[in-house]
Structure 1
Amino acid sequence: MTTTQADPITIALAQLPVTKAAVDENLQTHLAYIERAAALGANVVAFPELSLTGYELALLSQLAMPRDHATFAMLTAAAVASNTVVVAGCPLHNPNGKPYIAAVICFPNGEHTFYLKQHLHEGEDTYCTPGHESGLINVNDTRIALAVCADFIHPSHSAIAAAEQADVYLASALISPGGYAKDAELLAAIAQRHQLPVLLTNHVSTTGGWQTCGNSGGWNAAGELTVKANGAQPNIVLCHIHNGALNGRVEAMTDLGHEVSSID
């Protein structure tokens, strides 16, 4: 059950084009989205799973980034400059074995940390190691529980988030057109079961051999889809949350410019 929040919060869900293994190019796109989202009033900007590299499992070992990678420093600098929290997907180096599928979390105070995907899809364990710690961050007195793709398939993951008194459940994912309906049903059920808004940020590019469907958006505490992007187009979905209520709108990004699209 959600608790009263001191202030409203806006979480921006970034649907951005991603180029295979092109970290520097993808970083520049991230920075443009962060700047635009901040200008639109976002407190948090969240990107899809492995957004900095694309979902390239066979390349993860060579793409895996150490915790002090320059990319994280640049994202953190953007978080400071824009006064936003940035959550971006990355492969993280593991000194003890296979890399992690991770989210780097960059804060406006200049610090950064990581959430490590806990539940791997079948086949991912060939390339990756699962994490074991929950990802709960506090932004303006709103507790945001982080999930990466297969995490939300396991009821225990969202149950732990609820037990930790999360106010919002935020999932970064790669979802195909054929998988969206089932995954949307799961996310709606999490929202209804735990009485909290659930947000999804998904890819729009073909990545790792997967066609993706976008449709980033949010479900309110009743499990109703309240805001959703227009399919697989570059978008920023602005999710406004206050005292457990969710509403939002969509900003369509065109060549890293913008045009507004409203969803009612």
Structure 2
Amino acid sequence: MKSRGTSGTTIALAQLPVVKGAVAENLETHLAYIQHAAERGADLVVFPELSLTGYELELLEQLALPKDSEVFSTLSDAAAANNIVVIAGCPLVSEGRKPQIGAVICFSNGEREFYAKQYLHEGEAVYCSTGNASYLCTVNGTRIALAICADFANPAHSEAAAAQQADVYIASALISEAGYEVDAQLLTSIAKRHQFPVLLANHISNTGGWQTCGKSGGWNALGELTVAANGTEHSLVLCHVSQGVLNK
């Protein structure tokens, strides 16, 4: 049997408005959501793909952030002040290569880690380079694997998470209304195949030319949609994972 977390972890999925290329403005919105998530008892708050900038591929090179960016320091301070783990979407500088679609993971003790998307969506390779390593962290004894959007469309990604004995698989994504049913089926199948809950943090804004659909939520290990946002409302969706079981 898998090793499962015993204390349980409350995860907040953030559906927030994002302004094109406005890092400072988006950062302020993130800080408000971080505080709100902590007030509601969350141990971890997860934002959608490229949440700090919007999904603006043509702007990635100029918006890409180095790992010592003050933006990340501000998020780390917020994680510490609110005793919460923060996963935010951002373009990352990749030395000598195109920028990466990434995520910063800020822990409440001040530590900071990064993940770069491994599998790109059609057209993204023009603007981006790929990451080469999976990402898993432990929060309150729960082993959490992170995917960024098209990662979950490649079976190898979730298989790697299962091999690492993940307790939950979280996709930080951009999904449109037209694409939701197909992607929801993929996430359902991942949950059923690997017998772990699968969570989705999606955009609600019009970003990168896409009208996104929200519907952030989670599927249990049977592939059943257990918790979901009400469409595109500004919200935090709270999911509790304990010993591989997903509850509201």
TM range (shorter): over 0.9
Q: How far off its partner does 1:232 sit?
A: 1.0
Listed as ranges, the matches of 1:80-99 within 5 Å are 80-99=80-99
Is 2:58 aligned against 1:58? yes
Is 2:175 aligned against 1:182? no
Is 2:22 aligned against 1:9? no
State the Cα deviation string for residues 49-69 of structure 1 (Å, max 9, x = none).
000000000000000001100
Listed as ranges, the matches of 1:1-264 within 5 Å are 2-248=2-248
Letter of the aligned partner of 1:32 in structure 2? A
Tell me, yes or no, if the aligned pair for 1:11 and 1:46 is still in contact at 8 Å.
yes
Q: How far off its partner does 1:113 sit?
A: 1.1
Q: How far off its partner does 1:3 sit?
A: 2.8
Q: Which runs of 4+ in 1 moved over 3 A?
A: none
Tell me, yes or no, if the aligned pair for 2:10 and 2:43 is still in contact at 8 Å.
yes
Letter of the aligned partner of 1:150 in structure 2? A
Separation in structure 2 between the aligned mates of residue 176 and residue 3 of structure 1, nearest angstrom: 35
Which range is displaced more, 2-11 or 195-204? 2-11
Aligned to 2:211, the other structure's residue is in SS state: coil
Computed over aligned residues only, the root mean square deviation of the Cα atoms, in angstroms, reads 0.7
Tell me, yes or no, if the aligned pair for 2:13 and 2:201 is still in contact at 8 Å.
yes
TM-score computed with the length of structure 1 as normaliser: 0.93
Separation in structure 2 between the aligned mates of residue 154 and residue 139 of structure 1, nearest angstrom: 25
Q: Percent identity?
A: 64
Q: How far off its partner does 1:2 sit?
A: 4.3
Separation in structure 1 between the aligned mates of residue 4 and residue 60 of structure 2, nearest angstrom: 41
Q: How many residues align?
A: 248
Tell me, yes or no, if the aligned pair for 2:8 and 2:141 is still in contact at 8 Å.
no
Stretches of structure 2 that go unaligned for 5 or more consecutive residues are none
Separation in structure 2 between the aligned mates of residue 137 and residue 198 of structure 1, nearest angstrom: 15
Tell me, yes or no, if the aligned pair for 1:3 and 1:244 is still in contact at 8 Å.
no
Stretches of structure 1 that go unaligned for 5 or more consecutive residues are 249-264
Tell me, yes or no, if the aligned pair for 2:142 and 2:242 is still in contact at 8 Å.
no
Separation in structure 1 between the aligned mates of residue 145 and residue 243 of structure 2, nearest angstrom: 16
Separation in structure 2 between the aligned mates of residue 241 and residue 172 of structure 1, nearest angstrom: 17
State the Cα deviation string for residues 112-152 of structure 1 (Å, max 9, x = none).
11000000011100000000100101111111000000000
Letter of the aligned partner of 2:170 in structure 1? L
